[in-house]
Amino acid sequence: MASTETLPIEAIYNIADLVIEEAFDENIFAKTQLALAQTNHHFYDIVNPRLRAASYCWAAREGRIDILKKAHENGANLGGTGTMRPEERATPLHYAIKHGNRDIVEYLAEIVVDPHVPTRGVCDCWSGTEPVRPYALHMAIRHSGFEGAEKILVQKLGAYWTFQGTSALDHFDPHDVNDREIIDLLVELPGSRHAADALRYALKWNEPELVNRLLERSDMDASVPDSDGQTPLFWAIQYKRVDIIKLLLQRQEVNPGTPDRNGFTPLQVAVGVRSLPLVELLLQFEEVNARRTDEGNSGALHIAAARGELQIMNLLLEQNGLDVASPDSTGNTPLH
């Protein structure tokens, strides 16, 4: 009979998955499977970590804090992912939140596990769409088995993101009195990225007091972009917050000529929202280049022409070097 060492690694992983699935279908520990694994060092070295990770998830789901404490004392990583079913992969923190085991959530927070670990298959919020790998804070907000899970994660672990690129603030309404406490906890988290994201949130909801509070923070860096490469200045222009725009433009770190990931500039946004005063304001800065185009080779003049904004077009044409016959990527010029 061929040795296990000769098996392809994919085959060994498939065996491990079957072992895990059988071991936990009836909530029993995998003693027989472990015994099998131990008969071959190569097989054991591959399967054992997966079995252990699965057992930690099982303990978190079943409320067995004693197992988790013992594992941690023996040097186990309780922040990693394990699988309870072939379609699932999550951390003990996710399972403890989902199944209402507050004591385990508090213990995992005490030993400072990472709350920003992506998972799969533990909720169906995005079924039928592109796969989203939620973090523990999403589970706390949408699927917790007890109240206050999100506060534990934010206060003790500094949790902020619900999945990659999306902050927990997006789940809360500042006009809802029930959301105010968690919002305050989130916007007070230290760090320039958190501060800049909170500023975008305050601009979106037109919360002037929160905006001013955030701008006064020592760790505020208003040049920090979001996942699209847009700084808070883009958002302020989008919402036509002239007072905030002027405050941002006074800050040393803010460059009004910096484009986003697609080459789109604050000037193009100002033209897009049809604001002549904002276009006039931005053109006062030498960093702003009215000739600059985005990835589609479209510039501020193309946008103004497409929207029929004659006053903005005339203002832009006063800038040196603008070419009214310059085509964008589709072949259209401002004259079209």
pLDDT digits (tens, 9 = 90+) for 46-87: 656 778 888 899 999 999 999 999 999 999 999 999 887 878
How far is it, in rounded angstroms, from Cα 89 to Cα 171? 24
CA distance 186 to 201: 11
pLDDT single digits (tens) 155-208 = 999 999 999 889 999 999 999 999 999 999 999 999 999 999 999 999 999 999
Spans of all domains in the chain: 1-158
1-158: CATH architecture: Alpha Horseshoe (1.25)
Percent of the chain with pLDDT over 70: 83
Please enumerate in sequence order all residues whose Cβ is within 8 A of that of 291, keeping only pairs 6 or more positions apart, or say none: 299, 319, 321, 322, 323
- Cα dihedral 78, 81, 82, 83, rounded to 10, equals 150
Q: At what angle do helices 208-215 and 192-204 cross, to 10 degrees?
A: 160
Q: What is the largest CA-CA distance in the chain?
A: 84
Q: What is the pTM of this model?
A: 0.78
Q: 3-state DSSP helix/strand/coil percent for the chain, to nearest 5?
A: 50, 5, 45
Q: How far apart are CA 327 and CA 18, in angstroms?
A: 59
> What is the phi-psi region of residue 206: left when phi exceeds 0, alpha when psi lies from -120 to 50, beta otherwise?
left
d(CA 46, CA 10): 11
Q: Cα dist. 153→15, 16, 125, 160 in Å?
A: 35, 32, 20, 8
Which residue type, as a one-letter code, is found at position 184? D
**pLDDT tens digit sequence for 104-134:** 999 999 999 999 999 988 888 876 666 789 9
The H or E element spanning position 234 is helix 232-238
